[in-house]
Amino acid sequence: MKILQQVFEQVKTRNPGEPEFHQAVMEVLESLEPVAERNPEWVAAGVFDRFVEPERQILFRVSWVDDQGKVQVNRGFRVQFNSAIGPYKGGLRLHPSVNLSIIKFLGFEQILKNSQTGLPIGGGKGGSDFNPRGKSDGEVMRFCQSFMTELARHIGPDTDVPAGDIGTGAREIGYMYGQYKRLTNSFTGVLTGKGLTWGGSLARTEATGYGLCYFMEEAMQSHGFGFQGSTVAISGSGNVAIFATEKATEMGGKVVTASDSDGYVYDPDGIDLALLKSIKLVKKGRIKEYVDQKPNARYEADCSKVWSVACDIALPCATQNEIDAASAAMLAKNGCKAVGEGANMPSTPEAIELYLKNGIVYGPAKAANAGGVATSALEMSQNSMRYSWSFEEVDTKLKGIMVGIHTAAANAAAEYGQPGNLMFGANIAGFLKVARAMYEQGVAY
Ligand code: NDP
Ligand code: 2IT
């Protein structure tokens, strides 16, 4: 980096103790160096300096009463990162690991992901260090209501439209939406991932996992292979992992793993989707329960070992930095030919380097998992029209969007001198649209 090194130094000085945010910014700025070279007017207008600084960061107390009558205090976050091309848009993560660094890296990546969908959505992210694990429905409801009591004043269907992420699914979106409606006396598309009888879009639940498979099929086909006949390793067993398993299987792959933060299962016969769904979606159980019903499957109580399983295609769908250099080396050694990121930033920079060095087809998160937010934007469109499309209509649009994202990333990679590097291409393709909008809208005094 030459021109943009200064921007990165400023990010580190201004945001101490935020390693995930630094990691995400570093990767993007490295890709954007040739863009800065070609667009000195953007450098002069401070577009890059403004791009790495959130427009607004909201931190708030979330207090609620647990089932024992004890007062609990959590911290709530919403980072409204960039609204150059549309209202802030991005999920809400509920997980004990949540802190400002994690929400900022997610919000930052969301800007470029959302831009690539071709739909008018800016970037944002939020959440809380609330741990939903082991909580009763009543506790989750009281937390969500308290969280929304503060968040409501900062969001709106034309301002900021949150959605799900880790720990936030249909139940949490329901409780939050109910509270927003009560507080504002309005029925609007302020959240996405809503229930199907109250404004939700068909295919939103499936969209991230399905979109990941559509994207990867496109990327792999340009190298002469695809899901058909391939062995697939998937991490996680939540929303993204389940529907990636469903689509990869439908497309002819054999998915042999699933995991949670406690461990992973390996099923040489292929993961039984109905059983996976019944354990995770119906019983809300743990992945180790899978082996109780499948004598051929085995469980290991170390989720990082999932990458030791031999596979042609790896789809990390759990969390950030889940594939480090050692895991990436293991994948390469075992003959893995493609890695598609369902999770956000699941690969460390060292792991990415190894993919590229070993000729592994690499589908970076901000392109490969954009199907979820793209379908959220389709939900917003349907809400504005007060209309709803069929599952097939939404799924067809989703497929078209994922193919378009792949084409744009591949073209940008070639145009800027690194043909085949989809990470480089996705960063550039996403950025160009946002940068142009920021430049044209001027600097606010
Ligand atoms: P869910 O909460 O539905 O599932 C998360 C899964 O990942 C669970 O199996 C969970 O296991 C596992 N997991 C979470 N944290 C860790 C950890 N620290 N180590 C190991 N495993 C972990 O979330 P989603 O499926 O929605 O999200 C998964 C990933 O996909 C995230 O990175 C998210 O940001 C990303 N994503 C989600 C989109 C969406 O539409 N939902 C869209 C685009 C990206 P456990 O139960 O043990 O916690
Ligand atoms: O990371 C993501 O893109 C999401 N969690 C989905 C965001 C959304 O607004 O649908």
pLDDT tens digits, 342-370: 999 999 999 999 999 999 999 999 999 99
| Cα–Cα distance measured from residue 241 to residue 317, given in angstroms and rounded to the nearest whole number | 5
Q: What is the pLDDT of residue 27?
A: 98
**262 closest CA partner among 315, 297, 304, 308:** 304
Ligand 1, CB cutoff 6 Å, lining residues: 164-167, 169, 208, 236-241, 260-262, 303, 317-319, 342-344, 369, 372
Interacting residues of 413 by C-beta distance below 8 A, sequence separation 6+: 419, 420, 421, 422, 424, 425, 428
CA of 124 to the centre of ligand 2 (A): 9
Exposure b/e, 354-379, CB count within 10 A at least 16 = b: bbeeeebbbbbbbbbbbbbbbbbbbb
Phi, psi torsion values for 168, nearest 5 degrees = -120, 110
**What is the value of pTM for the model shown?**
0.98
Angle at 365 between CA 148 and CA 414, to 5 degrees: 140
Rounded to an integer, what is the distance from CA 188 to the centroid of its chain?
Answer: 24
Of all ligands present, the nearest one to the C-alpha of 342 is 1
Instruction: Choose one of 376, 382, 394 to mutate for the ligand 2 pocket test, by most ligand atoms within 8 angstroms of C-beta.
Output: 376
CA of 172 to the centre of ligand 2 (A): 15
Q: What is the mean pLDDT of the chain?
A: 98
Average pLDDT over residues 193-214: 98
Q: Is 89 in the pocket of ligand 2 (CB under 6 A)?
A: yes
Collapsing DSSP to helix, strand or coil, 39 comes out as coil
Regarding the domain delimited by 207-368, which CATH topology (the fold level of the hierarchy) does it fall under? Rossmann fold (3.40.50)
**H helices then E strands: how many in the chain?**
17, 13
Instruction: Choose one of 109, 121, 205, 208 to mutate for the ligand 2 pocket test, by most ligand atoms within 8 angstroms of C-beta.
Output: 208
Average pLDDT over residues 227-235: 99
Provide the pLDDT confidence category of residue 107 given band limits of 50, 70 and 90: very high
Provide the pLDDT confidence category of residue 32 given band limits of 50, 70 and 90: very high
> Does an H or E element contain 275, and which?
helix 273-277
CA of 393 to the centre of ligand 1 (A): 27
CA of 431 to the centre of ligand 2 (A): 18
| Cα–Cα distance measured from residue 49 to residue 43, given in angstroms and rounded to the nearest whole number | 8
Provide the pLDDT confidence category of residue 393 given band limits of 50, 70 and 90: very high
| Cα–Cα distance measured from residue 74 to residue 62, given in angstroms and rounded to the nearest whole number | 5
Interacting residues of 186 by C-beta distance below 8 A, sequence separation 6+: none
Architecture of the structural domain at 54-187: 3-Layer(aba) Sandwich (3.40)
Examine domains 54-187 and 207-368 and report if their fold is the same: yes
Kindly report, residue by residue over 65-80, the tens digit of the pLDDT: 999 999 999 999 999 9
Rounded to an integer, what is the distance from CA 442 to the centroid of its chain?
Answer: 30
Query: Which residue, by CA, sits nearest to atom 27 of ligand 1?
Result: 166
Q: Is 345 in the pocket of ligand 2 (CB under 6 A)?
A: no
Instruction: Choose one of 319, 344, 375, 405 to mutate for the ligand 1 pocket test, by most ligand atoms within 8 angstroms of C-beta.
Output: 319
Kindly report, residue by residue over 287-320, the tens digit of the pLDDT: 999 999 999 999 999 999 999 999 999 999 999 9
Q: What is the pLDDT of residue 229?
A: 98
CA of 135 to the centre of ligand 2 (A): 24
**Which tokens in the block code for residue 244?**
């990636």
The full set of domain ranges for the chain reads 1-53, 54-187, 207-368
Helices 422-441 & 100-116 angle (0-180, nearest 10): 90
Query: Which residue, by CA, sits nearest to atom 35 of ligand 1?
Result: 343
**376 closest CA partner among 127, 128, 203, 222:** 203
CA of 231 to the centre of ligand 1 (A): 22
H-state helical runs in 117-250: 137-151, 170-184, 204-221, 239-250
Q: Is the pLDDT of residue 444 over 90?
A: no
Contact criterion met (CB below 8 Å) for 303 and 325: no
Active site residue 113: no
Q: Is 430 in the pocket of ligand 2 (CB under 6 A)?
A: no
* Bridge partners, residue 91, by sequence: 163
Of 89, 113, 125, 194, which is the active-site residue?
125
Q: What is the pLDDT of residue 369?
A: 98
Interacting residues of 250 by C-beta distance below 8 A, sequence separation 6+: none
CA of 373 to the centre of ligand 1 (A): 15
Number of the ligand 2 atom closest to the C-alpha atom of 106: 1
Inter-residue long-range contacts of 301-308, CB under 8 Å, 24+ positions, other chains counted: 301/262, 301/263, 302/263, 302/264, 303/235, 303/259, 303/260, 303/261, 303/262, 303/263, 303/264, 305/264, 306/233, 306/235, 306/257, 306/259, 306/264, 307/233, 307/235, 307/331, 308/334
Provide the pLDDT confidence category of residue 417 given band limits of 50, 70 and 90: very high
Q: Is the pLDDT of residue 126 over 70?
A: yes
Phi, psi torsion values for 2, nearest 5 degrees = -120, -75
Q: What is the pLDDT of residue 445?
A: 63
Kindly report, residue by residue over 91-103, the tens digit of the pLDDT: 999 999 999 999 9
Instruction: Choose one of 110, 177, 320 to mutate for the ligand 2 pocket test, by most ligand atoms within 8 angstroms of C-beta.
Output: 110
Number of the ligand 2 atom closest to the C-alpha atom of 90: 9
Query: Which residue, by CA, sits nearest to atom 9 of ligand 2?
Result: 90
